[in-house]
Structure 1
Amino acid sequence: MTSATNPPTDLTPFPDHTQLPDSNGTFVKNWQEHPQSILLTDSITPVLKQLHLDGQYCIGQDLGIYWRLTDPPEKGAEAPDWFFVPNVPPLLNGQTRRSYVYWREYIAPLIVLEFVSGDGNEERDKTPWKGKFWIYEQVIRPAFYGIYEVKKASVEVYEFIGGQYQLLPANEHGHYLIAPMGVELGIWPGVYQNVELPWLRWWDLQGNLLLTGDERAEQEHQRAEQEHQRAEQEHQRAKQERQRADRLTAQLRSLGVEPEA
């Protein structure tokens, strides 16, 4: 086992994502975690595709970030509920990522999000070498760290500034600017997957909610339905105009006046 205080200088023997466990054997802590992760991924994907035209980025959902070698290996990993890493390939050697191995790729996630299931102490734990907050701030160092509490309908967002995390203030909309992604993060009270909750969601810089694929399809359906209704109304107005013209023509002819004249 490698000592955390004396890390080796030769990284070649370190295992890769195919050799490390892809699960720590624990259950998901609450039902909402998976829908929440899908909601974040689905709605941000069009933005990330525009930011990374080469497709070089990856999203992790309850996926391990290995930051040190331990025995057992999973003790040296943190598994954020959701994270985004720019400028890395989505696949490794043609294989789906089983984990994100920090000592092989060196690029920190741009943002890490934790969904609180308990009292939030675990996500705010600053105990050296053990606490989530300490590991994110002192070792992995994502530019942004968010702590989302569905029970409180709130999210705390920290930005890595000057070697430590500083709590970001919310803007006038109650959102938090994630400038490198060109989006804002905040709470949306609404219905997703048939459940009404204060969901964690993205907005663009103009304050427009970033929609999921289903929401975009529904919006297009409503737009098409509105266009159909407008076309039907125009058709009815034209029909009524023709009927009025026909009645006027009949009245003129009954008076011995030929309309064409």
Structure 2
Amino acid sequence: MSIAPSQTKLTLPDHTQLPETDGTFVKKFQEHPQSLLLTDSIRPTLDALHPTGRYTIGQDSGIYWQLTEPPERGAEAPDWFYVPNVPSLLNGEMRRSYVMWQEIVAPLIVIEFVSGNGSEERDTTSPLDGDRAKAGKFWVYEQAIRVPFYAIYEVKKASVEVYELSANHYQRCEPNDRGHFPIPPMGVELGIWQGSYMNQTLPWLRWWDDQGNLLLSGDERAEQEKQRAEQEKQRADRLAAKLRELGVDPEEL
């Protein structure tokens, strides 16, 4: 007797069916502006890399890498991450989370902001007895999601560690002569900048281009343009004054 094939089709949950938060407080007061600064300053570079807009940035958003119960135990929520070559919207909807079995493409870089002693961000614990929900964050990014670049930022120590995936394992990167860490696929460098942003003077995590030029935020670009316009006006006013000293009316030129 032949047995008919099963008509049951396995369907995996997508980003609209998975929780977008675990209900915990996950941001300190400095972390929100830090995420904004990273995103605001890198967007012109990413827009140039992706003229069609096919990329996405996550800020404290869940990355689902396995099915568990409850579902949120199978996700990590990096403070900041960037995924190249995926649409900013998914089927016309904003993503509630990033689901690996739905998206396939892994983030190129994941950044964690240390809020404790850093042990959670550096936890290399592998799955125990097949229970992957117990895997450490470092292990998940390295072995499960396989993120090419992983950065750990500690504002209290004014430091950042960058790891690059090589031969299936993270290798800690060495800074260049500028004290920055190159991220070649993005054409940028990551490092610490001591300065004021949103009324907080701190050692911020920031981007530079591969020539060592700081990538500015929107407010910084606007302020730079304002200063440039003021300098041009001052030069024009000085030139006009000199012309008048020579008996030349600059309005008639």
What is residue 166 of structure 1 aligned with on the other side? 171
Residue of structure 1 in register with 2:180 after alignment = 175
Deviation of 1:29 after TM superposition, in Å, equals 3.8
In the TM superposition, residue 28 of structure 1 has moved relative to its aligned partner by 2.5
Q: Is residue 87 from structure 1 mapped to residue 89 from structure 2 by the alignment? A: no
Range with greater deviation from structure 2 (152-161 or 120-129): 120-129
Q: What is the alpha-carbon distance in structure 2 between the residues aligned to residue 44 and residue 177 of structure 1?
A: 14
**Is 1:224 aligned with 2:222?**
no
Match of 1:190 in 2: 195
Distance of aligned partners of 1:234 and 1:12 in 2 relative to their CA distance in 1, 3 Å threshold: farther
CA contact (8 A) 1:11 1:103 kept: no
TM-score (norm: length of structure 1): 0.88
Distance in 2 separating the partners of 1:12 and 1:61:
31
From 138, 144, 167, give the equivalent of 2:143. Answer: 138
Partners of 1:24 and 1:175 lie apart in 2 by 34
**Counterpart position of 1:209:** 214
Match of 1:21 in 2: 19
My pick for the range that moved more, 110-119 or 29-38, is 29-38
Q: Aligned residue for 1:124?
A: 122
What count of residue pairs does the alignment treat as equivalent? Answer: 234
2:35 is paired with a residue whose SS is: helix
1:50 aligned partner, one-letter code: A
**Alpha-carbon shift at residue 24 of structure 1 (Å):** 0.7
CA distance in 1, matches of 2:172, 2:91: 38
AA matched with 2:11: P
Counterpart Cα distance in 2 of 1:94 and 1:29: 28
How far off is 1:122 after superposition? 0.3
Structure 2 letter corresponding to 1:201: R
* 1:78 aligned partner, one-letter code: E
Task: For 1:146 and 1:70, locate their aligned partners in 2 and report how far apart those are by CA, in whole Å.
Answer: 26
- 1:56 equivalenced with 2:54 (yes/no): yes
- Identity among equivalent positions (%) equals 67
SS at match of 1:31: coil
Which runs of structure 1 show a deviation greater than 6 angstroms over 4 or more consecutive aligned residues? none
Q: Secondary structure at the match of 2:18?
A: coil
Q: Which of 149, 158, 172 pairs up with 2:154?
A: 149
| SS, match of residue 218 in structure 1 | helix
Shift of 1:241: 1.6
Q: 2:141 and 2:10 mapped to 1: Cα distance?
A: 24
CA RMSD of aligned residues (A): 1.3
Per-residue CA deviation, residues 159-212 of structure 1 (Å, 9 max, x unaligned), is 001110000000011000000000000000000001100000000011000001
Q: Distance in 2 between matches of 1:81 and 1:57?
A: 17
